Structure 1
Amino acid sequence: MELNEKTIAKTTIYNGKIIDLEVHDIALPNGQTSKRELVKHNGAVAVCAITPNNKIILVKQFRKPIENTLLEIPAGKLELNEDRTSAAQRELEEETGYIADDLQLITEMYGSPGFTNEKISIYFADNLRIGEMNLDDDEFVELHELSIEEATTKLQNGEITDAKTIIAIQYLLLNYNHSK
């Protein structure tokens, strides 16, 4: 069975700084038509970083769409045509003050592919050195360093609900030697 949906017409309803919004008229596999509302995003990167004293680096920040603060691994959006690894290094230093010269790609994921094309690349780093935080003018974060066990407890208690952070903690539990 063919599952592809063919775009018949497309209307851009908003071009923003971070996202574009489009409405597509589509042909369904059964010959009928429908509409799809799409959020176009340049993509994002995130870093699961472990400090020299074996703590996972998290940032707490307010997220307007959910009207609440989240505890998350450092992350940020890609600039146009920016290399994903370089973007991850930049975001880690900007948000935490830590520098990672060597990043390992853990995975790439689509958080909500039902309405957005945003792809997030999640990296791992554990050979860090101190740099300098350099937040954007409209960015406010609180730095947290937790043991993997503390982060796991927060995940189990529902205090960590961000998908990329959940993936990072699960990666650590499966792959990281906690006794380094």
Structure 2
Amino acid sequence: MSDDHLIEHTVQQQELLRGHFLHVVRDSVRLPNQRLATREYVVHPGAVMVIPMLETSEGLRLVMERQFRYPVGQVMVEFPAGKLDAGEDPFVCAQRELLEETGYSAAQWARAGVLHPVIAYSTEVIEIWFAKDLSLGERQLDQDEFLDVFTATPDELMSACQQGLVTDGKTLTGLLWLQNVLSGQWSLHWQTAT
């Protein structure tokens, strides 16, 4: 089945902003009916999210973060995540972000998939990684990064989501993956960290 009847084609592009973090453009596009329209969006380098699974004597716990997110003006509960540096391999980024933000390193890793968090106005793609066989070291936060690290059981995280205490889209998607992996519905292919 062809998608030609849905595709929009770029006619012209104008840069609106090139900041330290954001790059915003406005495109003129030709619609499938040949009319012209405007599309404004954020060009994003991509990111990773890590679902760190910590085996304890009491069972599985997830390594989570609490961090103030300025655009929404509140502290959010999230899985560890971070932006790709220019040309950075996502697996390398996942390992770096987990260590920098939480202090944990993982011996085993599995790439789960990708998510597009805001398809209406951003090119951002987030790779989802699972990490296990964790060992704790020292966090390496950036000087302008402030966050708390804590652990929760999958049931505790599920309850927090159901109560509306966790509303971050990538974390909710991560929980979907986690549920399906833990139930055996979805499988992962684990690899050793390099």
TM-score (norm 2): 0.88
Count of residue correspondences: 177
* 1:99 match: 105
Check if 1:110 corresponds to 2:116.
Answer: yes
1:172 correspondence with 2:178: yes
The match for 1:15 is: 18
Task: Confirm whether residue 52 of structure 1 aligns to residue 55 of structure 2.
Answer: yes
> Structure 1 residue 120: deviation in Å?
0.2
**AA paired with 2:55?**
P
Cα distance in 2 for partners of 1:36, 1:171 equals 31
| Residue 119 of structure 1, CA deviation | 0.2
* Structure 1 stretches lacking a partner, 5+ long: none
Aligned amino acid, residue 101 of structure 1: A
Spell out the pairing of 1:18-97 with structure 2 (5 A cutoff): 18-53=21-56, 54-97=60-103
Q: What's the % identity of the aligned pairs?
A: 33
| 8 Å contact from structure 1 (residues 59, 72) kept in 2 | yes
Query: Residue 12 of structure 2 aligns to which amino acid in structure 1?
Result: A
What TM-score results when the alignment is normalised by the length of structure 1? 0.94
Mapped contact 2:18–2:24 kept (Cα < 8 A): yes
2:186 aligns with none
Give yes or no for contact 1:19–1:42 (8 Å, CA) kept in 2: no
After TM superposition, the runs of 4+ consecutive aligned structure 1 residues lying more than 4 A away are: none
Amino acid at match of 1:89: Q
State the alpha-carbon separation in 2 of the partners of residues 107 and 12 from structure 1: 31
Distance (Å, rounded) in 2 between the aligned partners of 1:101 and 1:43: 24
Alpha-carbon offset, residue 72 of structure 1: 0.2
Comparing 117-126 and 97-106, the one that deviates more: 97-106
**Deviations 1:131-178 (Å, cap 9, x if unpaired)?**
21011111110111011111111011111111111122222222227x
CA deviation profile, 1:36-91 (whole Å, cap 9, x unmatched): 00100000001000112121011000111111111000000000000000100100
- Write the distance in 2 (CA, Å) between the matches of 1:101 and 1:23: 43
What is the CA RMSD across the aligned residues, in angstroms?
Answer: 1.2
- Aligned-partner residue type, residue 77 of structure 1: K
By how many angstroms is 1:102 displaced?
2.4
Q: Extract unaligned runs of 5+ from structure 2.
A: 184-194
The residue number in structure 1 matching 2:6 is: 3
- Show the counterpart of 2:161: 155
Amino acid at match of 1:162: D
